[in-house]
């Protein structure tokens, strides 16, 4: 994720010792396009929608915090059930605290898909504790070509780097942004963890809703998503995923 809108993202994401091939955007953001397009699929397709920014918001559907719904939608969409639970829970909690925002679990899933393939980029897997099997940590934001220089802001607590900040976790937060929007989803009193999909999804919802717009409208949705990464191409990828996920979840069950 970008820091509040004027800043930039690293050009690729490094997952533990596995370096994924990513695409560098002119806006300074990056996402795992190659990994997403080439991954094996059991048949769920996400069409690349060429929607104009502000013209429309993606489809929405009601998420349910039930084992049956989660299993059925995870099977249809190929979103890991553990990640899907996190997106739906973040949607539910944010609608209670910020009802005018009208966040959607499908939008959070669209972002999670682009940022880290729902925490599974590079062959990782989400545990039942919500953490990936290895931490997701980006490259140092050290001023290299295409990278904004952001000196360490947290003494390396989140990213292990005491010299430069790095984007971390399945929703790719840098430490300065995490410090503003993070919350412990479980409410167990422990510090929020950007590697935890529950905490990361809820923080992403907080960030999107901070723009103060209605995400059910085209103008509001695009403004919010492009504060996450100021790139039309990025927004279209998130839109395409969110729209496909919502439509798949709302479709009648097949027999």
Write the pLDDT tens digit of every residue in 195-225.
999 999 999 999 999 977 899 999 999 999 9
Q: Please answer whether residues 27 and 234 qualify as being in contact, where contact means their C-beta atoms are separated by less than 8 angstroms.
A: yes
**99 part of a folded domain:** yes
Q: Residue range 73-91: average pLDDT? A: 97
Q: Please answer whether residues 164 and 142 qualify as being in contact, where contact means their C-beta atoms are separated by less than 8 angstroms.
A: yes
Range of the domain at 241: 73-130+184-250
State the sign of the Cα–Cα–Cα–Cα dihedral 126, 18, 191, 229.
negative
- Express each pLDDT in 161-174 by its tens digit: 999 999 999 999 99
How would residue 254 be classed by pLDDT, with cut points 50, 70 and 90? low
How would residue 240 be classed by pLDDT, with cut points 50, 70 and 90? very high
**226 part of a folded domain:** yes
* Domain count within the chain: 1
Grouping H, G, I as helix, E, B as strand and the rest as coil, residue 143 is: coil
Side by side, which strands form the sheet with 136-138? 18-19, 13-15, 136-138
Provide the 10 A C-beta neighbour count for residue 251.
Answer: 11
**223 part of a folded domain:** yes
- What is the pLDDT at residue 211? 74
**241 part of a folded domain:** yes
Q: Residue range 34-39: average pLDDT? A: 38
**32 part of a folded domain:** no
The rounded distance, in Å, linking the Cα atoms of 86 and 130 is 8
Q: Residue range 188-196: average pLDDT? A: 96
- What is the pLDDT at residue 143? 93
Q: Does the pLDDT at position 40 exceed 70?
A: no
């Amino acid at each position: 994720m970008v820091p509040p809108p004027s800043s930039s993202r690293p050009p690729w994401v490094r997952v533990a010792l596995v370096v994924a091939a990513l695409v560098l955007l002119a806006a300074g953001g990056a996402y795992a396009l190659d990994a997403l397009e080439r991954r094996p699929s059991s048949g769920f397709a996400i069409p690349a929608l060429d929607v104009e920014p502000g013209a429309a918001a993606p489809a929405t559907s009601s998420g349910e915090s039930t084992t049956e719904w989660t299993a059925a939608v995870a099977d249809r969409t190929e979103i890991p059930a553990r990640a899907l639970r996190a997106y739906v829970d973040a949607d539910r909690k944010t609608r209670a605290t910020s009802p005018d925002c009208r966040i959607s679990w499908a939008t959070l899933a669209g972002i999670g898909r682009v940022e880290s393939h729902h925490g599974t980029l590079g062959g990782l897997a989400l545990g039942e504790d919500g953490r990936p099997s290895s931490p997701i940590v980006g490259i140092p934001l050290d001023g290299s070509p295409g990278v904004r220089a952001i000196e360490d802001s947290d003494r390396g607590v989140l990213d292990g780097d005491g010299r430069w900040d790095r984007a971390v976790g399945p929703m790719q937060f840098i430490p300065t942004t995490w410090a503003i929007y993070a919350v412990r989803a479980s409410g167990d009193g422990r510090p929020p963890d950007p590697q935890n999909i529950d905490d990361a999804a809820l923080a992403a919802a907080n960030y999107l809703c901070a723009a103060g717009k209605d995400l059910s409208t085209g103008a509001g949705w695009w403004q919010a998503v492009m504060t996450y990464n100021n790139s039309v191409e990025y927004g279209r990828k998130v839109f395409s995923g969110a729209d496909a996920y919502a439509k798949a979840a709302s479709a009648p069950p097949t027999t």
